[in-house]
């Protein structure tokens, strides 16, 4: 089986070094990683990873909704220059999080700017959305052509909305803790699914760094819940990931 980890923060690992993570991942059939940023200070680190480990590591540059308040005034120009320097880069992660911060204004503004950049440069957008269903209403029609709702654990209804608007859903181990899991997964077309670790953060064991080597385990769980052949599902998800990465190229 082959895998692509569509969401990992390589720069944030404490107990594992990037070279080891990548070598071990390759031994488990992992073919690529999308290395995602959260704050502007990540961008240089993500750029360095993508350069050092090209083409295995694909960069994503963006501003996470938790950190919009602390962004410098010229963040968007800086982000744009990273997109120009890395034609294969995606944008993310970005989005809306009402749980962490009930103040919509700044989050909405920063999200809209990243949506515009995704359209301008034809890049896929990696979206973080938590308790934001209401806020999302003004964005559905504005979203770019290619996007994923990452770390998805929300309702089956929201999943259908994402799909209807042309998006994909990214799942990590947090899905297996969600009470929506069965209803959500059983109603989902296989061509809308991506896998991710959100490493080092969303592992099966709290407090332990999750590694891309654990993707096969996640796939097996999801295939079992869906009552689907794991090889076939792995192949389908791999293709989805390839198409996502290659959008606009």
Residues in contact with Zn ion, counted by CB under 5 A, come to a total of: 1
Give the tokens for residue 31: 């073919």
Q: How far apart are CA 215 and CA 156, in angstroms?
A: 23
Minimum distance from residue 2 beta carbon to Zn ion (Å): 22
- Site residues (CB under 5 A) for Zn ion, limited to 8-37: none
Q: Helices 40-52 and 75-85 meet at what angle, rounded to 10?
A: 10
Tell the smallest beta-carbon distance from residue 138 to Zn ion (Å). 24
Distance CA 243, CA 94 (A): 20
> Measured from the CB atom, is 5 or 198 closer to Zn ion?
198
The CB-of-127 to Zn ion minimum distance in angstroms stands at: 11
Report the nearest approach of Zn ion to the CB of residue 128 (Å).
Answer: 7
Helix (H, G, I), strand (E, B) or coil at 72: coil
- Sequence-separated (6 or more) residues with CB below 8 Å from residue 217: 204
Contact 39, 63 (CB under 8 A): yes
Q: Per CB under 5 A, which of residues 196..215 are in contact with Zn ion?
A: 198
CA–CA separation, 107 and 231 (whole Å) = 40
Which residue's C-beta sits nearest to Zn ion? 198
Q: For residues 8 and 199, is the Cβ–Cβ distance under 8 A?
A: yes
Q: Residues 180-199 vs Zn ion: string with x where CB under 5 A?
A: ------------------x-
Q: Minimum CB separation from Zn ion for residue 46, in Å?
A: 12
Nearer Cβ to Zn ion (144/199):
199
For Zn ion, which is the closer residue by CB, 8 or 188?
Answer: 8
Binding status of residue 97 toward Zn ion by CB under 5 A: no
Structure-block tokens of residue 27: 């031994």
Q: Cβ of residue 228: shortest distance to Zn ion, in angstroms? A: 26
Backbone φ and ψ for 242, nearest 5 degrees, come out as -60, -45
Are the beta carbons of 190 and 237 closer than 8 angstroms? Answer: yes
- Give whichever of 7 and 223 is closer to Zn ion, judged by the CB atom: 7
Q: What are 95's two structure tokens?
A: 């989005």
Q: Given the complex with Zn ion, which of 127 and 223 has the nearer CB atom?
A: 127
Nearer to Zn ion, 198 or 221 (CB): 198
Binding site for Zn ion (CB under 5 A): 198
């Amino acid at each position: 089986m082959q895998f692509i980890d569509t969401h990992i923060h390589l720069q944030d690992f404490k107990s594992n070094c990037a070279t080891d993570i990548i070598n071990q991942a390759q031994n488990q059939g992992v073919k690529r990683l999308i290395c995602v940023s959260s704050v502007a200070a990540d961008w240089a680190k993500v750029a360095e990873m993508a350069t050092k480990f090209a083409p295995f590591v694909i960069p994503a540059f963006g501003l996470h909704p938790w950190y919009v308040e602390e962004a410098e005034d010229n963040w968007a120009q800086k982000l744009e220059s990273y997109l120009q320097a890395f034609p294969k880069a995606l944008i993310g992660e970005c989005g809306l999080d009402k749980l962490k911060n009930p103040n919509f204004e700044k989050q909405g503004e920063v999200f809209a700017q990243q949506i515009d950049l995704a359209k301008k440069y034809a890049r896929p957008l990696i979206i973080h959305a938590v308790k934001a269903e209401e806020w999302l209403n003004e964005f559905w029609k504005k979203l770019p052509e290619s996007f994923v709702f990452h770390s998805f654990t929300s309702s089956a209804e929201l999943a259908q909305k994402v799909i209807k608007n042309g998006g994909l859903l990214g799942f990590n181990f947090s899905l297996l803790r969600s009470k929506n899991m069965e209803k959500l997964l059983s109603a989902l077309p296989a061509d809308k699914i991506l896998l991710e670790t959100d490493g080092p953060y969303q592992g099966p064991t709290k407090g332990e760094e999750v590694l891309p080597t654990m993707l096969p385990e996640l796939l097996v769980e999801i295939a079992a819940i869906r009552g689907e052949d794991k090889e076939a599902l792995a192949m389908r998800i791999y293709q989805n990931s390839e198409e996502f990465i290659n959008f606009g190229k």
